[in-house]
Amino acid sequence: MAADAAVDEVRADEGPARSEGDGGGGPVGAGRAFALTLVISGFAGLLAAWVITLDKFHLLEDPDFTPACSFNPVVSCGSIMESDQAEVFGFPNPMLGMVTYGMVVAIGMGLLAGARYRRWFWLGLQAGTLFGVAFCTWLMYQSLYEINALCLWCCLAWVATIVMFWYTTWHNVRQGFLPAPRGVRSVLEEFHWLFPTVHVGVIGMLILTRWWDFWTS
């Protein structure tokens, strides 16, 4: 019942999905709940990217610098920052995050202010979050199985990206921007919270099992 009430609240908050007479291609807004999700997850990712970038600069200035989130051989942000994977595009990865997460925050704030975007914009956001979650998945694999270390700020960025991806997907399916069978639409409508929860839970289990001996010693 609580989930149904939450969905009804989002529906009521969104109002008319499209402008009249636009043939289904007019600008579309979003409910307050979804907008806040973008703002909060965007801020979380932005915070993580900002802290990692600052620590990276400190590390460049002083090779002996130890980031505050380096607690032990496993939870070691420094090991991640010094790896080749930390600069995939020729510059520190979190610098890309500061730009992209900042854009997500701006989009969410715009929605809270009543902004409405066209289909191409929503599909662009979908593509961006898809790239983000794919990139985070690759970084997660590198962290767990190649670098053999874990960065807590990176984990926060992973969770933020996963949340914004799944809720952007839910929004676009509901609006008809992403084609989906009726059954899929119904499942997303009823259990939209389940997909990011399971996704994050799987990552948590992988982290737990990867260093099980360390956690239990």
pTM over 0.75: yes
Give 114-149 pLDDT, tens digit per residue: 999 999 999 999 999 999 999 999 999 999 999 999
Cα 21 from chain centre = 34
Q: Which CATH number fits domain 28-216: 3.30.1300.10, 3.90.1150.180, 1.20.1440.130, 1.10.287.130?
A: 1.20.1440.130
Q: Are 36 and 111 in contact (CB under 8 A)?
A: no
Residue 18 confidence (pLDDT): 46
Residue 25 confidence (pLDDT): 63
Give 74-115 pLDDT, tens digit per residue: 999 999 999 999 999 999 999 999 999 999 999 999 999 999
State the virtual CA torsion across 179, 183, 184, 189 in degrees, nearest 10. 110
Annotated domain spans of the chain: 28-216
Question: How many whole angstroms separate alpha carbon 61 and alpha carbon 44?
Answer: 26
Q: Are 164 and 90 in contact (CB under 8 A)?
A: no
Give 14-53 pLDDT, tens digit per residue: 444 443 333 356 899 999 999 999 999 999 999 999 999 9
Q: Which of 6, 93, 102 is nearest to 53 (CA)?
A: 93
Question: How many whole angstroms separate alpha carbon 213 and alpha carbon 209?
Answer: 8
